Amino acid sequence: MKSKIYILMALIILALTITACGGKAPAGANPALPAAEGGGSGGGGEAARGPSLTNPGGLPAAPSSGDSANSQSGEERMVKADDPAGLFSILFVDTWTQASGSTPGSLRSSQNNGYVEAEVISAQGLTPMQAAQALDASHANGAAGDQKLVIQDGNVHGLPAASLIYQYEAGTNPVTGNALKFIASQIFIGGGPADKLGHVTFAAPYAYYGDLSGIFDNILAGFAWK
């Protein structure tokens, strides 16, 4: 009985720790993008990828807007980034803006409307899947617009991993007044230092997330413990 209580407490603490990294609109997101309001593809664009740890599959292709920064060419040049504590490294797209993340020791890379943040968190004795479930539980009574798309097991180069992918609303379109919808994926990676998990968050407007997920997959594949 006590062990169940300890596990429940750990789930609650971890959920509170990691929720701060999700549910935010990408910094600099363009609120005027009409396709970010809902699930419509708006026509055109590349076929969305999936499924993967960053993509549940079945997402719309990005609209044909001439906004090439929100799609993938498959030829992006990747550069290595190391965290300040020397615990992990990850690959970012060299043309994206690199900066410190929203939490101490985290790394952030962003462009236009999409972003990625990578950090190391305390595992609180949880596996990657248990950490994803804790985050999912914290969203159960979340803000309007929160909707789980998928929670799944996987691996990153053989390292145990799990992801929670969900959509959420952040802000409103100043022209239409409709809620702006985004998709985020939060991936937890084990196999590192004792009681530590890698934590990588991706987010983008709903209409563009599917196309960007190919780049997100490449970034995630570049995660490595030191």
Give per-residue pLDDT as tens, 1-20: 444 333 333 443 444 344 44
Report the pLDDT value the prediction gives residue 63, as an integer from 0 to 100.
66
Name the residue with tokens 């609109």.
Answer: 25
Q: What is the CATH number of the domain that holds 147?
A: 3.40.1000.10
The number of folded domains in the chain is: 1
What letter represents residue 56's amino acid?
A: P
Helix axes 128-139, 2-19, angle to 10 degrees: 70
- pLDDT < 70 positions in the chain: 1-50, 62-75, 140-144
Task: Check if the beta carbon of residue 110 is closer than 8 Å to that of residue 27.
Answer: yes
Distance CA 22, CA 74 (A): 27
Provide the 3-class DSSP secondary structure of residue 214.
helix
Is the sign of the CA dihedral 69, 22, 201, 117 positive or negative?
Answer: positive
Task: Check if the beta carbon of residue 95 is closer than 8 Å to that of residue 77.
Answer: yes
Report the pLDDT value the prediction gives residue 141, as an integer from 0 to 100.
64
Report the pLDDT value the prediction gives residue 46, as an integer from 0 to 100.
44
Task: Check if the beta carbon of residue 115 is closer than 8 Å to that of residue 101.
Answer: no
Report the pLDDT value the prediction gives residue 144, as an integer from 0 to 100.
67
Give per-residue pLDDT as tens, 140-164: 666 668 889 999 999 998 999 999 9
Domain ranges, residue 81:
2-28+36-65+74-225
